[in-house]
Amino acid sequence: MKTIPQEELFHRIEGFQEKLKEKGTDLAVIIQNADLYYFSGTIQAEYLFIPQEGEPVLLVRRGSERAQAESSFKKIIEFKSSREIPNILTQEDIELPEELGLELDVLSYQVATKLQHILEADKLVNITTVIRQSRMIKSDYEIILMKRAANQLKKIPTLIKSNLQEGMSELELSSIIEEHLRLQGHPGRIRMRGLTNEMPIGVCVSGDNAEVPLKTDALCGGPGIHASIGIGSSKKKIIEGEPIVIDFVSNHHGYHVDQTRLAVLGEPSAYLQETYEKSVELLDKLSEYLLPQHTWQEIYEQGKRLAEELDVADYFMGHGENKVRFVGHGVGLELNEFPFLADGLDIDLEPGMTIALEPKLLIPELGAIGIENTYLITEDGPQNLTTSSEELIIV
C-alpha cells in the first residue's frame, strides 16, 4: 500500500526541484529518514537522488519489494555497492553533478565526502534550509494527518484525573500516558532534527524538577532517570500542591503534534491558581498574533510584551541565566521544524505552517506553569489543533 498519495508526492518533488534550480544545485541526495519519507513515502531506501529536472531515483540496498510497495516512484533500484551509483544514474539519464546538495546538518563528514568522491562533484552545498522550507508549509493531506495526531492527546486531562494519586512518581504517571498513546497507534518514537537531539514521547515534570537545565534550548524537560539520557520524567514522588507539567507529543503516520497541560495533586495555592490563569491568558492573547502579516521574531517579542503586562516577565521562558529565547516552534515530521518563534528571525509567517506555541513560566522553588497548543496558520487566523481541556487539572 502506498503510504503517500502519488499526486502529493509528485507535488513535493516538483516544488523542491524549483528550489534546486533557484539555488543552482544540480543534484540533491536525500538520506535522513524524515526527509526521505517526506519526498519518497518510504525510509527503506539508502539514497534518494533528486535532479533539477526529471524523475527521482530511489536506491535500495535490500528489500526493494517493500520500498516498491510503499513508494509511488517508478525508479526504485536495488544495488549492492556504492561504486555502482554513477552507472545507475547515467542509465537513468541523470548527469553527474558539478554542485551536489546534501543534508549537511545531519550527515557525517565521512558520508558527505564519500558521496562527493563517488559522484565526482566539484562542490558540496548544504540543502538543509531548502528542505526545511519545503516541509514547513503543510498540504491539506498533511493537515488531516496532524489533526488525527492531535486526537491522540485529547483524553490526557481525563486520564490524569482518573489515575494521578498520592505517592505516585513522575515516571509512573508518564507511563500511564505513554501506554494510552501507544494503544492509539503512536509508534513510540519522536523525530527531532539534530545530531544529538533525543526526545521521549513526553514528560511529566513536577515542582522544581522543571528547573533542571538542559543543554538544548528548551524548558521543563526534566532530569530523566539517569544522566546517560538527561531528559524526561524521573522517579521523584509527586508532592501535593506542586505544579505538574504534562508535555506530550503525539505521532500519527510520522506527523507530530505538541501539547502541554498542567496538573496539581490536592488543592492548589491561590498563587498557583492565579499564575496559571495568567499563563492561559498569555497563550490566548499571543495566539491571536499568529497571522501571515507577522514575523517569527514579532511573535516572540509580543510574548515578552504580554508577559510584562501580566507582571510575569521575570519568569517568561525561564528565569535568570536559564531563560530561553523562543516561544514556539514548527512541528510536522519532526518536532523542531521551521518556523522558530525566536529572537532575530525576521521572516514572515505563512498559511499552512503548523506551530507549537508554549509561553511557559518558570518560577523558582515552585516549578513551571503554563500550557502549550499546536496551531495551524491560516489567512483567517490560527486554528487550534489541540482541543483537549485547558483547565487546571486538580486531582
Span 370-379, mean pLDDT? 98
106 and 230 share one domain: no
294 and 242 share one domain: yes
236 and 355 share one domain: yes
Instruction: Convert the pLDDT of each residue in 27-79 to its tens digit.
Output: 999 999 999 999 999 999 999 999 999 999 999 998 899 999 999 999 999 99
Contact of 322 with 213, CB cutoff 8 Å: yes
- For 267-270, the CB contacts below 8 A with 24+ separation are 267/241, 267/394, 268/241, 268/243, 268/392, 268/394, 269/241
Rounded to two decimals, what is the model's pTM?
0.95
148 and 30 share one domain: no
Domain of 57, CATH number, reads 3.40.350.10
Q: Name residue 246's beta-bridge partners.
A: 204, 261
H or E element at residue 91: helix 85-91
Contact of 313 with 304, CB cutoff 8 Å: yes
Residue 1 lies in a domain: no
Q: Which of 101-105, 135-139, 216-220 has the lowest mean pLDDT?
A: 216-220
Residue 235 lies in a domain: yes
Q: Of 74, 109, 135, at which residue does a domain stop?
A: 135
Beta strands 354-357 and 326-330 are antiparallel
Span 216-245, mean pLDDT? 90
163 and 303 share one domain: yes
Q: Of 115, 135, 155, at which residue does a domain stop?
A: 135
Q: Of 119, 135, 151, at which residue does a domain stop?
A: 135
| The pLDDT of residue 321 | 82
Within 8 A by CB and 6+ apart from 337, the residues are 132, 135, 136, 193, 329, 330, 331
CA separation, residue 251 to residues 181, 245, 314, 354, 355 (Å): 9, 20, 34, 14, 15
273 and 385 share one domain: yes
227 and 156 share one domain: yes
233 and 349 share one domain: yes
Q: Domain containing 265: what range? A: 137-394
> Would the pLDDT of 10 be above 90?
yes
106 and 172 share one domain: no
344 and 371 share one domain: yes
Domain of 222, CATH number, reads 3.90.230.10
